[in-house]
Structure 1
């Protein structure tokens, strides 16, 4: 698990990133190609991306670990401007890059050839890295970027509603399933491997939802000195509908079917009733209700052998805003 230790000053310095980072999402897209994802919603998108990946970008895959797909931090600076992010990658001090690469691959054997060449500061390897990152920014991301922006904006708006109605404690604990507060201002977040204690010591916390990362929250230094926490957005990228004039903003946050479920639950419905109204299976309707319930948007009560669902006050506020 990851245990974040907050001081009072840290709690006063919790904020959201102002925009998604193209290289954070771009490298996480490659992470999907390299290691897959536990979320089946991303399976078809991952296959499409893998088959359409331009050859210059293939070199970046070798820099990512095969077990979890994560790579060195210098590859994906959390910077919203693509040109500035690109410049930071190619201008990374060579000693810093070497340390980052060796830390990434520690315990996994020798560095792969491309990573070893970068660690050694070879000019050709760094030129090829620049070509690969430029191709990622110019060809892979643009077709999807409007949906990334829509999903990012919707997620931040939703968390903002939780913050307003239920407070910072509930909002932070709702970033990922299994998160909980301990005494002394410690937020416990699930993660694989050994337990890690991260003491913020007044740095503050910057939150960045990712539409492509579905695992435990990731942490990294933010350029402003705070700790960056990348967490899974409520809706993964493939479920964010294409952005069109007059598009339903609620669908960008929840996905079109889940948005319809919430709208129907402005009046109580059974699971079977939801399924009939939407033309979906009872199991699918139950899964949607479960996800909305976990987000605090829906309440469920048993009535004999039936489960009756209705939207909560927070769900009603979200419907009104949408």
Structure 2
């Protein structure tokens, strides 16, 4: 449960960020219990086969995320909006030994042999763990990262626009069913997310995530900025390919191709990705993307990712 005294000052310090390191941690939990994460089964099937073929044993990592308590050193607040995995792993290697031991001692017993080794020699253990995470990333997540990153960046862009438009309360409107902004404060599963007394002055990190689904995870720690991790917008379509359907009402207004493209952009994608998702020809996709951009219904990032605008989101929602 979060422990934040909400005020205008706190909200002004709230920021948006996501973390490759966290996606490693959360995805390892998905691999361990795939039945609890049906949405990600297409990824689970591919990743498990690739890890087996590459001979990557993720057991030491899976053991760390198996219980109710994920060690804090595995899930720090992202230091920047889009941190690099190499920087996050460098920070992981530098975690003090006493912090590692303290977090391991909080975990549910019994402690597997690999974690006992980590507790006995944290410096060497963190080096082994970081190396394993690098290999795991390269085999299981790097192939999907462009798609995942586009989804996460799209969520950040959407909420940044809401914040810039002065609709700070709308930041929380669709984070998850359990999270609501009511009466000037945040509630989590019906519980008030605030602390009595003065605010701590650090605000909140809103961190969209792919593999946190279907949960919302909050973390507070003395001296650091609280983090709220939630499923990114458009996650339901992340692993889909081809056959995109559009609402009939939307087709009546925009036409078949443009309505299909807007529906497919529930998650950001580049032009080639939209061709795969929709089954439309590349020339048709390019033509209609240009028309949608002229109408103010999509924008294109410097790296070529197409993103629906807020107006387009509202149009699709109304049409659906």
Shorter-chain TM-score category? 0.5 to 0.7
- 1:101-116 equivalences under 5 Å are 101-103=104-106, 105=107, 108-116=108-116
CA deviations over 1:123-148 (Å, ceiling 9, x no partner): 65344323212212333322111112
Contact 2:100 2:122 in 1 (8 A): no
**C-alpha deviations, 1:244-294, integer Å up to 9, x for none?**
xxxxxxxxxxx9836x339826749xxxxx9xxx9xxxxxxxxxxxxxxxx
Question: 8 Å contact 1:206–1:222 — kept in the other structure?
Answer: no
Distance 1:224 1:257, change over 3 A: farther
TM-score under structure 1 length normalisation: 0.65
- Judge conservation of contact 1:219–1:228 (CA < 8 Å) in 2: yes
Contact 2:2 2:218 in 1 (8 A): no
Alpha-carbon offset, residue 29 of structure 1: 1.1
CA contact (8 A) 1:29 1:212 kept: yes
Equivalent pair of 1:42/1:236 in contact (CA under 8 Å): no
Alignment partners' CA distance in 1, 2:95 and 2:229: 22
Deviation at residue 157 of structure 1 after TM alignment: 2.2
CA change 1:162–1:21 in 2 (3 A) is same
2:121 aligned counterpart, secondary structure: coil
Say whether residues 1:174 and 2:174 are aligned partners: yes
TM-score where L is the length of structure 2: 0.66
Is residue 211–residue 237 contact of structure 1 (8 Å, CA) maintained in 2?
no
Q: Which runs of 5+ in 1 are unaligned?
A: 243-254, 269-273, 279-311
Task: Supply the distance in 2 between the matched residues of 1:150 and 1:101 (Cα, whole angstroms).
Answer: 34
- CA deviation profile, 1:89-146 (whole Å, cap 9, x unmatched): 122111101111222x1xx323222122212226653443232122123333221111
Query: Which residue in 2 is equivalent to 1:291?
Result: none
- Find out whether 1:131 has 2:131 as its counterpart: yes
Q: How does 1:1-322 map to 2 (within 5 A)?
A: 4-17=4-17, 20-36=18-34, 38-53=36-51, 54-65=55-66, 71-77=70-76, 78-79=78-79, 80-103=83-106, 105=107, 108-121=108-121, 125-163=125-163, 167-183=167-183, 185-190=184-189, 199=195, 201-220=200-219, 225-236=224-235, 239=238, 257=244, 260-261=246-247, 264=250, 267=253, 315-316=313-314
Q: Matched residues in 2 for 1:154 and 1:166: separation? A: 19
Taking only aligned residues, the RMSD between alpha carbons, in angstroms, comes to: 3.7
3-state DSSP class of the match of 1:62? helix
Shift of residue 150 of structure 1?
Answer: 0.7
CA separation of 1:236 and 1:314: change in aligned 2, threshold 3 A: closer
Q: Which consecutive unaligned segments of at least 5 residues does structure 2 have?
A: 264-309
**Are the aligned partners of 1:180 and 1:189 in contact in 2 as well (CA < 8 Å)?**
yes
Post-superposition offset of 1:25: 1.0
- Aligned to 1:216, the other structure's residue is in SS state coil
- Alpha-carbon contact 1:262-1:315 (below 8 Å) kept: no
Higher-strand-fraction structure: 1
Contact 2:250 2:316 in 1 (8 A): no
Listed one character per residue, the Cα deviations across residues 184-238 of structure 1 (whole Å, up to 9, x for unaligned) are x3211229xxx68554522111111112211332223699942222111012386
